[in-house]
Amino acid sequence: MTLGVGEVKGSGYGVEFDEYVVPVRGFLLRKGKLAGIYVKEGLIPVTEELPVEVHKAIVKGQVKKEVTVREIRYGEEDVIEVLIEADYQSWTIFTTS
């Protein structure tokens, strides 16, 4: 998968990962809660439960207009995590398993 603008490779901890910064085109809200994030490649659904403060920050426009995508390799398994930054904290919004 080739996404994003910036890239970080490797960790030095025995688990390999690649990290990308992807610009956000918009947010999908349902009843005041984040349901998805629009990026150039499509829509990233929100699969994780987020605190109320994160939803409020998105509605107020107080979040970064970028998400971080991590491709983590645990041996033969690959996991993709998508994180958003709100109120100077990172929150996982999507995870594959």
pLDDT in tens, 14-62: 678 889 999 999 999 999 899 999 999 899 999 999 999 999 999 998 8
Per-residue model confidence (pLDDT) at position 1: 47
Please, what sign has the CA dihedral across residues 85, 89, 93, 97? positive
Of 13 and 49, the one with more pLDDT: 49
In a domain? residue 2: no
Per-residue model confidence (pLDDT) at position 77: 82
pLDDT in tens, 55-88: 999 999 889 899 999 998 877 788 999 999 987 8
Q: b/e map of 26-59 (b: 16 or more CB within 10 Å)? A: ebeeeeebbebbebeeeebebeeebeeebbebbe
Q: Which domain holds residue 71?
A: 7-95
Q: How many domains does the chain have?
A: 1
In a domain? residue 1: no
